[in-house]
Structure 1
Amino acid sequence: MKTNLKKLSQQTIVITGASSGIGLVTARLAAKAGAKLVLAARSEDALRQLTNEIKQAGGQATYVVTDVSRPEQVQHLAEVATSTFGGFDTWINNAGVSIYGKLEEVPVEDMRQLFEVNFWGLVNGSLEAVKHLKKNGGALINVGSVLSDITAILQTMYSASKHAVKGFTDGLRMELEMEDAPVSVTLIQPAAIDTPYPLHAKNYLERVPKHAPPVYAPETVARAILHCAATAERDVVVGGGGKAMIGLSHWTPALLDTFMEKGFAKQSKSDAPARPLEQNGLDRPMGNLQERGNYPGTTRETSYYTETVTTGSPRLRTALLVGAAGAGVAALATWLGTQKETTGPTPTDTQPARNGQPQAPGYSDN
């Protein structure tokens, strides 16, 4: 059955993790496009403030304090969307948490809690959303990561959870296609995004974490998400640097491992000493309507790669995919061969590079 998705201005959209970063930017852009919003996160003050902001600008929104790891709260979120707006057309599973640290130094209890949110929270949201979307059609959008395909050193459990998200999303999509259900299922895979993600992570490193370049603005992800709310897509990688890294994992996995060990691990640490361990978003809400994070360099406000794959011709998409993989291999081989910093643009997004930072392809975030 063909999935007929509505224009954004005619939609009601549910967004989890709406109190900061990608979820916050997506909510604001969706409101500007005229969508009705049902906003979810654990931070009630931030949700109330965002809802009031949208209403004062002439939009329509409500909020539900939601811990996505608890199925009954996710069910309540869907019920509020139905009672307030008569249902929903798009459900965006964006809520997520992270941990930085070596596996042997991270308690298993923290690892399990991360999976409760990143994986089981997304499962809860997906299954609840599909019950409603199968009746009238619509879009389910799951925010994964380029780490759904590769693993970032010092972020192993986050990477593992995003691998699981991809497996679940792909399987659910196939089952719905077998049923001929009118539901579009999309996996969004952001590269490194300048959000509070490193600041909200539970951190077992000696330094405050930061992103490795290239780093993209959260608007690049929000635009991709809202494109998929109105146009059915199977999956979208946000950021050419991320696509290059995925290509490297298939073409030269040992080379990618070497880069992770010798370059990426160092790039993931800032100069600031670690904050107290209890200051983290794994154990408690930290949303405060903060869109950007602590990346000190130039953030890429546009991904030409992602814009092309979401709007360009199929032939151009294929050419970009091949070009990203080949250019990524060449760039990383050069970096490993010289072990010197460069200042040129990444192979797949020709924008000014960050001064003084190695420009080997970047990784992930949500």
Structure 2
Amino acid sequence: MSYWNEKVALVTGASRGLGLAIARQLVSQGATVILVARDQEALTAAAETLATLPGMAVPMAADVTSDDDVKRLEQEVAARFGALDLLVNNVGISSRGKLLDTQLADFRRQWELNVISAIRCVQAFAPLLIRRKGHIVNIGSLASKSAARFIGPYATTKFALAGFTQQLRLELQEEGVHVLLVCPGPIARDDAGNRYDDQASDLPPEARKPGAGVKLKALDPDKLATSILQACERRQADLIVPWKARILFAVSQISPCWGDWLQAKFSSRNKG
């Protein structure tokens, strides 16, 4: 029997992409999954794609940047299910741009979506998760460990999410709650290569590419979702995909200059 059978999970940003892939893996293994996003119509459509699987998908529209929406969501989950086994903070946004040209409003927007929304959801659902000694998964990025050029406020927010996750892991150890930081490379998507065209017109060509030009194969969201759930079952502290990125991160800790050199070597701007 699957580890996730009859467990209750909540996934934010679940109407598409990685969030939907994680929900699909959970429902296929018999879990009840609360799909959360702002668009009720998109959520309903996503839930319908999971209807034939063994578990159950429950769409609940909510804006995780709203205190009132998250409080309402927590109350509904508590009333209907009584506990929670897994919280996946997947919602987030990325961009392109030079830091000196980025408006403070753009920093605030990404800070709210990429960091505060996760903090808000963790604080709201922690009592339910503690009750079941469950799992918290925060979806970071390779940019949680190493910043690249031209990605605007993204690395700033993902580094902050990594710090929050580490402290949370230490503080919840005695409660038996597992906390996982996921740091994936670029994830395959239909608009890869052109989604930043309106933001990168005055930037080098590599800025338009996935990962701002990092030389990595795009990740299959379904395979990544499988790896994330397996990491939860093993109660890992972090999951870095691809694994070889750990080399860059380790070198960067020893010598930032060497880390910058390695990052340049494995990006599109290196012509050698």
Category of TM-score, reference length = shorter chain: 0.7 to 0.9
Shift of 1:43: 2.6
CA contact (8 A) 2:29 2:54 kept: no
Give the distance between the partners of 2:62 and 2:19, measured in 1 at CA: 14
User: Is 1:166–2:165 an aligned residue pair?
Assistant: no
Q: Is the 8 A contact 1:193 1:218 kept in 2?
A: yes
3-state SS, counterpart of residue 105 of structure 2: helix
Runs of at least 5 residues in structure 1 that lack an aligned partner in the other structure: 1-5, 267-335, 341-366
CA contact (8 A) 1:146 1:191 kept: yes
* Counterpart in the other structure of 1:135: 131
C-alpha contact (below 8 Å) 2:43/2:59 kept by paired residues = yes
| Alignment partner of 1:108 out of 104, 111, 119 | 104
Partner AA of 2:28 in structure 1 = K
The answer for the alignment partner of 1:8 in structure 2 is 4
Structure 2, unmatched stretches of 5+, are none
In the TM superposition, residue 124 of structure 1 has moved relative to its aligned partner by 0.6
Deviation of 1:200 after TM superposition, in Å, equals 5.7
After superposition, residues 298-317 of structure 1 pair within 5 angstroms as none
Measure the CA separation in 2 of the matches of 1:201 and 1:137. 40
CA distance in 1, matches of 2:169, 2:75: 23
Deviations 1:45-101 (A, max 9, x none): 221111122124453111122221112212222223233333321111110001111
Tell me how far apart the structure 1 counterparts of residues 245 and 221 of structure 2 sit (CA, whole Å).
Answer: 14
- Determine what percentage of the aligned residue pairs are the same residue: 26
Do the aligned residues in 1 keep the contact of 2:12 with 2:90 (CA within 8 Å)?
Answer: yes
Determine which of 59, 62, 67 is the counterpart of 1:66.
62
Describe the SS at the equivalent of 2:45: helix
Q: Which residue of 2 aligns with 1:240?
A: 243
Q: Give CA-to-partner distance per residue, 1:175-232, whole Å, 9 cap, x none.
A: 223xx21211111111222236856669521168221321222223211221133331
Q: How many residues align?
A: 262
Q: Which structure has the bigger radius of gyration? A: 1
CA RMSD of aligned residues (A): 2.5
| SS of residue matched to 1:165 | helix
- The structure whose RCO (Cα within 8 Å, separation 6+) is larger is 1
Give the superposition deviation at 1:258.
4.3
CA distance in 2, matches of 1:175, 1:260: 33
Question: 1:142 Cα shift?
Answer: 1.0
Using the TM superposition, give the Cα deviation of residue 156 of structure 1 relative to its aligned residue in structure 2, in angstroms: 4.0
Instruction: Provide the secondary structure at the position in 2 that maps to 1:264.
Output: coil
Residue equivalent to 1:42 = 38
- Code of the aligned partner of 2:199: Y
Tell whether the 8 Å contact from 1:20 to 1:196 is kept in structure 2 after alignment: no
Q: Amino acid of the residue matched to residue 59 of structure 1?
A: G
- Is the 1:187–1:236 Cα contact (8 Å) retained in structure 2? yes
Instruction: Kindly provide the amino acid, as one letter, of the partner of residue 29 in structure 1.
Output: Q
1:53 pairs with 46, 49, 54, which one? 49
Q: Tell me by how many angstroms 1:251 deviates.
A: 4.1
